[in-house]
Structure 1
Amino acid sequence: MLRYITRQWTVAVPLLALLSLALSWGRELPIVLVIIVAVVLAGAVLAAVHHAEVIAHRVGEPFGSLVLAVAVTVIEVALIVSLMISGGEQSASLARDTVFAAVMITCNGIVGLSLLAGALRRKVAVFNAEGTGGALATVATLSTLSLALPTFTTSAKGPAFSAAQLGFAAVVSLLLYGLFVLTQTVRHRDYFLPVTTEDAPATADGGAATTEGAPATADGGAAAAEEHAPRPSARATMISLGLLLVALVAVVGLAKVESPVIELAVSSAGLPQAVVGVVIALLVLLPETIAAVRAAKRDQMQISLNLALGSAMASIGLTIPVIAVASIWLTGPLMLGLGATHLVLLGLTFIVSTLTVVPGRATLLQSGVHLVLFAAFLFLAISP
């Protein structure tokens, strides 16, 4: 009976959210309807997580994490471009603010919460350092090329790329992201499969055993809870894929519907405009956050890290090329370079992340460090 009810609401809520989006798009809503839309938005997020997990259980890891990360990012990019087109010069830094917020949310917020959940469950959260290290290196490279370098280049005025530099960054971003996807899904897929605590004992150098010693299979069935669950049928998977896309379109669309209220609240509170990008990124990344924490609670830390770093990578690797193409039609400057405060946070994030990833295992201490960095990012966004 419970399974029937779950199946019914996960079908009904995405459709209800899409209907709410159609009825509210382009209209000024009274406060009561704003609250109702927010509730529907939260339901769509939960439904998206459910359908993403159904797909992941069918196709296995790391494909399941990749599906959710890419689907969310593609729609997030559409949201950023549409807001930039309608926002004029005031939105010149929206892409930078949203992408930087996505990096900080994924690398500190999602990673910190996942490590916390994993460490509370097993005292030590374990993962494959080889695959996670490669993902982190790609995220760090993409972030530096797209968000740090524009601050120091001199070909264009302000923290911005010239047309040639933006084109180079776009091509490199696509190439790196494509190379990572090839590595993750084809050539070294075993580096991104779940490793459970029992399957990864400490080695002499304090690290964790590699995936060759772990019986994790291609369908990611390392967790006991999922070993006994039947794989969804092809028909059920295709239905979940369609409903996932509907839910994600509704999530991002309703986030845009709520954005005028967010902007009004931000300006009324006297907060910086960058807070708008932070709030949008928080809303859009809710499905990954919930899915990552749930995976960590099942002792599948590698899935959590796949989701977190994969989302950060997709956010940069897909946003920058699309922004480069859209800049042909966009009027006004395109500010990509970060300020000094954000550069310090970005650099510290990657230093700490490297120290977290290298051992292949983490404790509550590492989760606390990442969460403190995330809290610092939020605090400095509000009080720069």
Structure 2
Amino acid sequence: MSEHKSDFGPDLGEVFGPHQADGGPDLVQLLTPEGERVEHPDFSFDLDDEAIKGFFRDMVLTRRIDTEATALQRHGELGIWAQLLGQEAAQIGSGRALRKQDFAFPTYREHGVAWCRDIDPLRLLGLFRGVDQGGWDPNDGNFGLYTIVIGAQTLHATGYAMGMQRDGVVGTGDPDRDAAVVAYFGDGASSQGDVNEAFIFAASYNAPVVFFCQNNQWAISEPIERQTRIPLYQRALGFGFPGVRVDGNDVLATYAVSQAALQRARDGQGPTLVEAYTYRMGAHTTTDDPTRYRLSEDLETWKLKDPIQRVKAYLTRNGLADQDFFEELDHEAEKLGEHLREGCRALPEPKPLDVFDYVYAEQTEELAEQKAGYAAYLDSFETTGGHR
């Protein structure tokens, strides 16, 4: 797709060259693990230091959501929880690159993206507590429902992106109108047929979708080396669109690459595959024991690349944040933790009839009849001395 040019930056089809399987010397990185800013020939971070402080806040609070939810599961308040420990930069960088009119399709782990789209984390806890069906309004923040079926959301995202084309909100040149879609998935999902089918449709229709793969090295207990012989981003070339590998623990680079890929989509230049090269420092879910299949030495190595610590190092080294800033953020995190602990336990029990309200935007006559029939069935228990 080297024939596609745009005025927002380099042509992605020309820029994204080969990388090595271990991350590679050409990995897009703008902030080193030591917290030093570095230049990249094709991507740059165009926001100020206040924005970086905002990204730091986002990541700290997202990690607190993860920590509290894990603790709540351990105390029996949640049935399960999918951790994102170590993947905060990938999610916050890409999430903050989205515009209001863009739409995100998550898996079941995009708690940081949900935070960026102003979804109350209590809504996420409700799903894992089993008191709702994940039925928040997708138009609230343009953030789709959590998807448990591995890879299915990539097809949803591609179809939605094709709909955007037909609605005339792609390639108009109006920054307040042109929109794109981002589909989140993991390295394990890249082996699913749904994902590859989504690639085919997106390429065939030049759909405005960014496929954002968080390669955290493990598909539950299956290492990435058992899933692919080449870096995941290179698979995009076989489908006819560009791919890039970015340091997924670098929030600045993730933002810059996501911003470029999303703008390319909004401009009508089609799909891009972004491989955020990161590491899942926690478990796959709270039912998983990663000590059974991975080495502790690997985990310790990746801790040195912690996405939060590298931004803290940058802020501290350059005198951009003092102790008061960090203490105030710690206090904010404590308040968020309290909100989650108290709010989770106070979540109301689900109402059986609510499930009918989240099928269609406008209820059909047939569905209304089904709802009425089920309501009559529930009422029958009251007449026989039972209760709902």
TM-score, with normalisation over the residues of structure 2? 0.23
Structure (1 or 2) with the greater strand fraction: 2
Structure (1 or 2) with the greater helix fraction: 1
State the structure with more CA Rg: 2
Q: With a CA cutoff of 8 Å and minimum separation of 6, indicate the structure with the bigger relative contact order.
A: 1
